[in-house]
């Protein structure tokens, strides 16, 4: 079962194997967001917070989801931060559905997931078979393959489904009298593609089910959409634990050691990649383009060519060590803090709860700072020019940043901040795991 009601306070008794989703009941001010803190069965400290943020957004379109599952060699933990895309209607619906499906896919394979996996592979195989050289050839292969499926119960195994398709293509190719080189080449290409086809990752199954549920619950051209970041932590036979990443879009993840060094970090799939904000030669044109358009993503769950982002195998899976800190966060956090600033906050002292509380406090200060600047700028401009307030404010911020080397802010309470990234208002979600 999935607990769809967000826990909103400290609770060491949460049964993580049931799966939890946070963020749906966001209320109050950002700096006072309740921080949920739990212990995993392996002694890790896990803290979670999710809020609609500060400024123009009143609905939280983010979710944080996590679940513990008993694996073959020990405990497995799946952590996700899901960002409902605010440019679409009902991003919160997309984030909630995707969170539910990610938890479902992470657990023991049930009938629903098994059926979706079978359908996923069947569709992929049929797409490849239609690339065979002639319509008659395609029909013969499909009929033979479907006939085998109807009488063989082992076809519930996705690998069996793929192997059978290869066997049928090979057999029909040998029976064919066709010897034209271009047609033989197309058969060989299909066989090669089938040889490289693998059953889908459970996360891909969750994405597919999410798309279907969104289409049913919110039909129409402007379908809700979402992106996400996931940390899949698996215990191996020798007791070591490895973290792998699942990513679609511009949410972020980093792993830092107890010494403060970043061992791994993700990179967002934005249309405009983040420039080197520490480069003193960075031009105003480049930083303005990033500042204004950083949240336009080129990959999402509902995009036509949605696909999991791939990282080098020498980088992940990453062997986790005691004292490591794993932080997952939505773009509302990534828009405000560099990975180095997040690590500095995490190692400031006081533990996981203190880190997230400090993050929320600074997030509200920075969001309020830019929101106040925008309010003053809009009040100054005539009605027909109020839309120019946002680029105008960011130009002033960026010019000052180029002069001083960082974004300098003075808040209402007299506190000051010096940051790498320009401030922006958005939903805020963070999940931090301190490895025991």
Strands (E), 225-321: 226-235, 241-248, 252-256, 262-265, 318-319
Burial class (CB in 10 A: 0-12, 13-18, 19+), 111: exposed
Q: CA separation (Å) from 234 to 18, 51, 69, 231, 245?
A: 17, 29, 10, 10, 11
| CB proximity list for 425: less than 8 A, separation 6 or greater | 53, 54, 55, 56, 57, 367, 370, 371
Return the pLDDT at 176: 77
**Residues of the chain falling short of pLDDT 50:** 1-14
| Two structure tokens written together for 367 | 């969001």
| CB proximity list for 50: less than 8 A, separation 6 or greater | 6, 22, 23, 26, 33, 60, 62, 63, 64, 427, 428, 429, 430
Q: If you count them, how many residues does the chain have?
A: 436
Closest by Cα among 309, 99, 299, 298 to 209? 99
Return the pLDDT at 279: 87
Per DSSP, the residues of 169-223 read HHHHHHH-----HHHHHHHHHHHHHHHT--PPPHHHHHHHHHHHHHHHHS-SSS-
Using an 8 Å Cβ cutoff, are 116 and 122 in contact?
Answer: no
Alpha carbons 363 and 30: distance in angstroms, whole number = 8
Rg of the chain over CA atoms, in angstroms?
Answer: 25
Class of domain 16-88+225-434: alpha beta
Return the pLDDT at 155: 62
Alpha carbons 370 and 368: distance in angstroms, whole number = 6
pTM over 0.85, yes/no: yes
Return the pLDDT at 244: 98
Domain ranges of the chain: 16-88+225-434, 113-195
Crossing angle of helices 202-217 and 111-129, in 10° steps, is 90
| CB proximity list for 33: less than 8 A, separation 6 or greater | 26, 49, 50, 51, 360, 428
Return the pLDDT at 318: 98
Sign of CA dihedral 262, 416, 328, 257: positive
């Amino acid at each position: 079962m999935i607990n769809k009601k967000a826990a909103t306070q400290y609770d060491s008794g949460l049964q993580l194997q049931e799966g939890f989703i946070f963020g749906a009941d966001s209320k109050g001010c950002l700096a006072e967001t309740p921080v949920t803190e739990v212990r995993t069965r392996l002694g890790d400290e896990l803290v979670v917070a999710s809020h609609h943020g500060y400024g123009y957004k009143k609905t939280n379109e983010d979710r944080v989801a996590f679940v513990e599952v008993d694996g073959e060699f020990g405990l497995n933990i799946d952590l996700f931060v899901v960002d409902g895309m605010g440019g679409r209607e009902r991003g919160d619906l997309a984030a909630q559905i995707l969170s539910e499906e990610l938890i479902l896919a992470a657990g023991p394979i049930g009938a629903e997931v098994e059926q979706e996996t079978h359908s996923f592979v069947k569709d992929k195989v049929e797409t490849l078979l239609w690339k065979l050289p002639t319509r008659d050839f395609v029909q013969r292969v499909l009929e033979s393959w479907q006939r085998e499926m109807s009488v063989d119960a082992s076809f519930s195994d996705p690998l069996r489904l793929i192997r059978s398709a290869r066997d049928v293509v090979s057999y029909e190719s040998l029976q064919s009298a066709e010897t034209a080189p271009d047609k033989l080449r197309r058969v060989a290409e299909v066989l090669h593609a089938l040889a490289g086809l693998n059953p889908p990752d459970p996360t891909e199954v969750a994405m597919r089910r999410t798309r279907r549920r969104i289409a049913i619950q919110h039909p129409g051209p402007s379908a809700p959409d979402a992106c996400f970041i996931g940390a899949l932590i698996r215990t191996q036979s020798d007791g070591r634990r490895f973290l792998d990443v699942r990513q679609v879009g511009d949410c972020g993840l980093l792993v830092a050691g107890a010494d403060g060094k970043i061992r791994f970090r993700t990179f967002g799939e934005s249309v405009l990649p983040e420039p080197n904000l520490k480069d003193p030669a960075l031009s105003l044109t480049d930083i303005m383009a990033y500042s204004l358009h950083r949240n336009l993503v080129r990959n999402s769950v509902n995009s036509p060519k949605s696909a999991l982002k791939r990282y080098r195998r020498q980088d992940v899976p990453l062997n986790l060590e005691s004292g490591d800190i794993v932080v997952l966060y939505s773009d509302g956090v990534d828009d405000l803090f560099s990975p180095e600033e997040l690590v500095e906050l995490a190692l400031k002292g006081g533990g996981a709860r203190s880190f997230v509380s400090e993050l929320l406090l600074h997030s509200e200060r920075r969001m309020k700072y830019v929101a106040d600047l925008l309010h003053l700028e809009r009040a100054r401009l005539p009605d027909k020019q109020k839309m120019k307030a946002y680029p105008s404010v960011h130009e002033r911020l960026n010019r000052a940043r180029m002069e001083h080397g960082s974004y300098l802010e003075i808040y209402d309470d007299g506190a000051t901040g010096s940051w790498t990234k320009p401030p922006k208002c958005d939903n805020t979600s963070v999940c931090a795991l301190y490895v025991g």
